């Protein structure tokens, strides 16, 4: 199977280009064109081998949820001319990631296990176990770093530093809670639990607008609802729908992104397994069948489809 490592287009009207961990981003006047490549990252490192269909899976999940939440808040997406491409409004990014958590998992669980009972200025109840549900979802923002790791920050500190205006932050918070509620309901219909996720916002023509991807496995954590309570009662790990299995494989092969560690090379059978897990994930999250595009020159197909619409 072919995989898309990167693109290097020179598009009509192109004024800027940026390559992120996963996306190649082209600026076309007041619009952004994002190509979701098949690159995969873990522990803040891009892995050596791309994963066939991963970019198309992520791009189409994001489009599915962006289109399903337009009644809650405006978002940047205009069109998807190709399975790997999204075109949308060029927003001025707000340098805060709105992380919302319904359960004590991941970073929140590690913080809790260290003995702390506060995260981003939010008090955490005593007596919780990992993966327990919070009485109500909590918002734990982080600063959006250009390089390196994002850092936790409280609402009070955001306003004190003037990172965003109070009315803008209140709007972001309102949207975050409503989007998470919708995502939770949509996940429940598919037999899933939306555990935690993050949203990014920007300003476009003076209004707060949802940007980037939402509710994808790269930005969210899902549990299977079936058996959740029983696993919690027995103190077992929850069955997850995420790319956590990739991190686990890397750790088992001696890599956690630390200095001096050698990145292991993924064998063909594991690359194929990741592809199948991502496609399964798409179908489970959306309830739709994933259409595999023909085995062709992906970059040429993408360029052809882009040039039809710009």
pLDDT digits (tens, 9 = 90+) for 11-22: 999 999 999 999
Domains in the chain, CATH or no CATH each: 93-241 (3.30.470.20)
Cα 199 versus chain centre, distance: 8
From CA 142, how far away is CA 291, in angstroms rounded?
35
Of 134-143, 147-156, 200-209, 291-300, the range with the lowest mean pLDDT is 147-156
Best-predicted range by mean pLDDT (144-158, 192-206, 280-294): 192-206
Q: What is the pLDDT of residue 147?
A: 58
What is the arithmetic mean of pLDDT over 208-219?
92
pLDDT at 145: 66
- Which strand (E) or helix (H) includes residue 244? helix 244-252
Model confidence at 1: pLDDT above 90: no
Predicted confidence (pLDDT) per residue in 89-134, tens digit: 999 999 999 999 999 998 999 999 999 999 999 999 999 999 999 9
Whole-angstrom distance, CA of residue 201 vs CA of residue 269: 38
Q: What pLDDT sits at residue 116?
A: 96
pLDDT for the residue 217: 81
Residue 156 has pLDDT above 80, yes or no: yes
Nearest to 188 by CA among 102, 71, 92, 279: 102
Mean pLDDT over all residues of the chain? 94
pLDDT of residue 150: 76
Give 149's pLDDT tier (boundaries 50, 70, 90). Answer: low
Which among 310, 300, 297, 307 has a CA at the least distance from the CA of 8?
A: 300
pLDDT, position 255: 94
């Amino acid at each position: 199977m072919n995989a898309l490592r990167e693109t290097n287009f020179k598009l009509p009207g192109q004024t800027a280009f940026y390559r992120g961990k996963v996306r190649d981003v082209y600026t076309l006047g007041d619009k952004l064109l994002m190509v979701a490549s098949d690159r995969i990252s873990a522990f803040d490192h891009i892995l050596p081998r791309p994963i066939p269909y991963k970019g198309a899976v992520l791009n189409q999940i994001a489009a599915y949820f962006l289109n399903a939440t337009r009644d809650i808040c405006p978002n940047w997406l205009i069109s998807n001319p190709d399975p790997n491409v999204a075109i949308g409004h060029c927003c001025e990014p707000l340098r805060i990631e709105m992380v919302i958590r319904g359960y004590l998992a991941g970073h929140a669980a590690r913080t809790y296990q260290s003995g702390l009972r506060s995260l981003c200025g939010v008090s955490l109840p005593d007596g919780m176990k990992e993966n327990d549900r919070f009485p109500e979802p909590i918002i734990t923002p982080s600063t959006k770093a250009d390089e390196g790791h994002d850092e936790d920050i409280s609402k009070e500190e955001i306003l004190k530093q003037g990172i965003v205006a109070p009315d803008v932050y209140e709007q972001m918070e309102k949207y975050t809670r409503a989007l998470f509620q919708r995502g939770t309901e949509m996940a429940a219909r598919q037999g899933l639990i939306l555990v935690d996720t993050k949203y990014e916002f920007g300003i476009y023509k003076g209004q707060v607008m949802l940007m980037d991807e939402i509710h994808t496995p790269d930005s969210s954590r899902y549990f299977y609802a079936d058996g959740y309570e029983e696993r919690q009662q027995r103190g077992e790990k929850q069955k997850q729908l995420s790319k956590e299995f990739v991190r686990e494989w890397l750790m088992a092969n001696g890599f956690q992104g630390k200095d001096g560690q050698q990145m292991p090379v993924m064998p063909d059978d594991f690359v194929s397994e990741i592809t199948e897990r991502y496609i399964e994930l798409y179908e489970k999250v959306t309830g739709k069948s994933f259409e595999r595009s023909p085995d062709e020159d992906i970059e040429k197909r993408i360029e052809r489809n882009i040039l039809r619409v710009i």
